[in-house]
Each structure stands twice: as structure tokens, then as C-alpha cells.
Structure 1
Amino acid sequence: MNELVVRTIAGVAMILITLGVAWVGGMPFALLVAAAATAVYWEWSRIVTGWSVGWKIGGFFYCLIPALALLLIREQSGIGLALLIWVFIVTWATDIGGYAFGKTMGRTKLAPAISPNKTWEGLLGGMLAAGLLGGLWAWSQGLASLLYWLGPPMAVAAQAGDLFESAMKRRAGVKDSGTLLPGHGGVFDRLDGLLVVATLTGVAVYMGWL
């Protein structure tokens, strides 16, 4: 089967499963988050094999904090599901917008020493998509007005998470963090941006800004 077809089918399936479990919430969502965090940490540990112990310890918290943030977001009374979906929309829109703009208009390399395929045009496309779709969702759900414009900076944060993982993989000499997801590589490859967006949104919730 064509790799793009496999990637698309797997991507749609992951989105549907994630949204379904998020809608249910409670223990099923907690178990999904725990499983994802565990998978990311397992892949992180494989990448940093032979590195200092600080990388193992840092990776534990790099996986734990976003997991706790996602649970905190989902448990917000009245707005938890809508806010969680905003996090997903912004992250996914960053990826999709970045890919579309990068493929069609990408000319200027963003960080060629880390990720040669990333471009400034792709980043701007991701920011545009995240801002537009995230803002529309926040407005339609009556979420805090802060979220109307927070999409673009979150897109930058998501891209930073992507580049951080790419730098780790380049240092380790590996292409993907794992092979668990058909056409997508590892779980860490798919969640690198979400880890950052979830953490920052969780901080905003904890501070009472949302």
C-alpha cells in the first residue's frame, strides 16, 4: 500500500480514537494519556542510550508534566472537553498547515542543521492554520478570549518541540523515535508538539488565565 495512504489512514484513526476517548473522559482518557506518556518515555530512553543519566531523568519529567497537564485540562468543569479539543486543534493545525505551506511554498530553511525539510514558510502556514482554526473553535465554544489569538504562539511552541526532538534524533543518529505507528514512526514523533502545547495550556489553566 502507498506510504501516503497508510500514513493518512493511520492518522485519521488516531484522531478518531483520541477524540472518542477524550469525549468519554475519566479513567479511559487517563489510561490513554498514561499509555502515550509511557510510550514516549520508552522511545526517549532508547534515543538517549549511552547519554548522561540527566537525560533519563529529564525525559521522565518531559513526559510526566504534559500528561498531568492534559488530565488537568480535561477535568475543568464545563469547559474541559472543549479546551482539550482546542489543544488538539492547535497542534494538528500546526502540523497540517506547516506541511501544506512547506510543500507548496517552502523556500527558506528554518533550521537546516537540525531538520532540513522545515521552512519558515511552513512555520508561518502552521501559525496561520493554528490561529484561524483555534480561534474559531474557542469562539464557537465560548472559551476564554485569550484563546482567540493564542494559536500562533502555540504553533511556534509546537514547532520548537518538534525541532527539539529532531535535534535529539540527529545526535543519536536515528530517523524516527520508533516504529509503533504505521507511516508515522514513533509515538514521540507524533506527540512532540503536543507535549509542549499541553504543558503551556496546563500552566495557563493552573494560573487561572483560562
Structure 2
Amino acid sequence: MEDADDLDSERKRDRLKRYAKRAVTVPLSVRTSDLPKRAASGLVMFVVTVFAIWLGGLVRDAFFVVVAFICMAELARLVKRATKRPLNRALGLAAGAAYIGYAAWLLTKIDTLALLLLLFGAVICVDTFAYFFGRTLGGPKIAPRISPSKTWAGLLGGAVGATTALFGYFAIGDVQLGREWPILLLAGTLIAVVAQSGDFLESWLKRKASMKDSSNLIPGHGGIFDRIDGLIPVTILVGSVLIAQYPHWLDR
């Protein structure tokens, strides 16, 4: 009888502990404590990227190729740790090479500086707005087993960020939007969803590999793959549409 009472008491304590963990709200200052480091690293990456794009030509293309190779090396490291089966490793590496390589190839084909800056700017806005919305609002997780930090509030923030970038692009270009603004809202939402999909893909791979980051190359951000996981699928989406619309870029 005493053993049953002790077991019941222990279960009650466990329930109280679980409730307490859910009830305690982590202060915003703690949830954003890594912001200065992330911001500094992000600024450096932004300046280097913009400078390479501004130089254009071989320098720009070489920059994209180098980033792609580093990203592929990090992906290969994840794949190697995620599975020990030779066939699965080969398939993972082949898929990763096609995934990253196609995105890098598309970037070298886009010859308009403004469009490249919009592409990078939209993804940066998705990440930034998603970070602040997610950390500030919190709320339900999208897929906690894959990426515990990703929330629906963060996805909403990402959509707001991408849409803001698109509207800002047309505002700077002094383009008067009429009935097109719903299309921009839809495009911003689609970009955010695609970017989050790329993030989830890498998160799933990292979970399989039991790794927090793809590498420790960038302070506060992890590796190159961690930083451009959303950019890759967005580039594939936007770049493919642009190539279809402007096929002359294929002759470059």
C-alpha cells in the first residue's frame, strides 16, 4: 500500500514539474541573448555578399561557387554522420550536389544587380522577421520533432518580412502598385514557406546526424549551410521562374 502511495506521490510531483516548466516564461532578454553576436556576424556576411555582387563578373560568380562548395562540404559531413549505409550516403550526396549546384548555377545566370539584391534581401528579411516574431510571440510549434524552435508565429513573421522586402523593392523603383499588391502578398507568403521548407530540410538532416550546426564557421550562426538553408530553395524557385521568363540568361 505504501509503495502505491509513494508511486502516486511521485507521479503528482512529475506532473507538477512538467506544468511548472510550461508555465514559466523565459524572459525576452534571455531568448535574444545571442542577438549581438548574430547581428555582428550577419552584418559581416551581408557586407561581403553585397560587395561581391557589386563587383560582378568573375568575382561574383567565383564567390557563389566558393560558398556552394563550402555548403556542399558541410552537407556531406551531415550525410556521412546521418547514415552509415553506402547507398543512402551516395544518394544523399548526389541529391545535395544537385540541390546546391543548381541554386549556385542559377545565381551565376541572373545578370541584374537589383534582382540579386532583392533575392538576398527577401531571404534576409524572412530570417530576421521570423526570428523576432518567433522569439517574441512564441506559440505553437510547426514541427517540434524536426525543428523545436520553429513556430507558426515565426512563419508569419517570415511572410511579413518577405512581403516587406517586395513592397520596398517596388517603392524604391517608384513603381505604382494597383491590383498587383495581392500578388505581392501571395509571393511574400510563398517565399517564406519555401525558405522555411529549406530550413526544415536541413534541421531534419542535422537531427539525423545528431549535430546542432553544420559547422562552427560563423559565430552565432553555425555554418554556411545553416545560414543559406532557406536561400537555396528560394533561389531555385525564383531563379527558375526568372530563367523561364528571360531565357537569354542561359546564353551567359
Q: SS state of the match for residue 208, structure 2? A: helix
For 2:79 and 2:44, locate their aligned partners in 1 and report how far apart those are by CA, in whole Å: 30
Note the 1:16-95 alignment, pairs <5 A.
Answer: 16-49=47-80, 50-51=84-85, 52=88, 53-73=90-110, 75=111, 80-95=112-127
Do the aligned partners of 1:97 and 1:129 also contact (CA within 8 Å) in 2?
Answer: yes
Does residue 190 of the first structure (1) align with residue 190 of the second (2)?
A: no
Q: SS state of the match for residue 230, structure 2? A: helix
Which residue number corresponds to residue 145 of structure 2?
113
Which residue number corresponds to residue 168 of structure 1?
205
- 2:196 maps to amino acid: Q
1:139 is displaced (CA, Å) by: 4.1
Which residue number corresponds to residue 7 of structure 1?
38
- 2:40 maps to amino acid: I
1:3 is displaced (CA, Å) by: 4.7
Q: TM-score, structure 2 length as denominator?
A: 0.76
1:117 is displaced (CA, Å) by: 0.9
Which residue number corresponds to residue 151 of structure 1?
188
1:206 is displaced (CA, Å) by: 1.3
- 1:201 maps to amino acid: V
For 1:38 and 1:176, locate their aligned partners in 2 and report how far apart those are by CA, in whole Å: 17
- 1:134 maps to amino acid: L
Does residue 199 of the first structure (1) align with residue 236 of the second (2)?
A: yes
For 1:155 and 1:142, locate their aligned partners in 2 and report how far apart those are by CA, in whole Å: 24
Measured against aligned partners, the alpha-carbon deviations of 1:91-130 in whole angstroms (never above 9, x if no partner) come to 0011000011111112111110101111001100110111
Structure 2, unmatched stretches of 5+, are: 1-32, 248-252
Structure 1, unmatched stretches of 5+, are: none
Counterparts in 2 of 1:3 and 1:101: CA distance versus 1, 3 Å: closer
Counterparts in 2 of 1:3 and 1:140: CA distance versus 1, 3 Å: closer
Do the aligned partners of 1:94 and 1:126 also contact (CA within 8 Å) in 2?
Answer: yes
Measured against aligned partners, the alpha-carbon deviations of 1:13-37 in whole angstroms (never above 9, x if no partner) come to 1001101111111111111100100
Do the aligned partners of 1:69 and 1:201 also contact (CA within 8 Å) in 2?
Answer: no
Does residue 104 of the first structure (1) align with residue 141 of the second (2)?
A: no
For 2:71 and 2:96, locate their aligned partners in 1 and report how far apart those are by CA, in whole Å: 9
1:180 is displaced (CA, Å) by: 1.0
- 1:155 maps to amino acid: A
For 1:104 and 1:96, locate their aligned partners in 2 and report how far apart those are by CA, in whole Å: 12
Measured against aligned partners, the alpha-carbon deviations of 1:146-177 in whole angstroms (never above 9, x if no partner) come to 98342221111000000010000001111000
Which residue number corresponds to residue 161 of structure 2?
129
1:5 is displaced (CA, Å) by: 2.7
Of the two, which has the highest radius of gyration? Answer: 2
Q: Alignment identity in percent?
A: 36
Do the aligned partners of 1:82 and 1:141 also contact (CA within 8 Å) in 2?
Answer: no
Do the aligned partners of 1:86 and 1:138 also contact (CA within 8 Å) in 2?
Answer: no
Q: CA RMSD in A?
A: 2.1
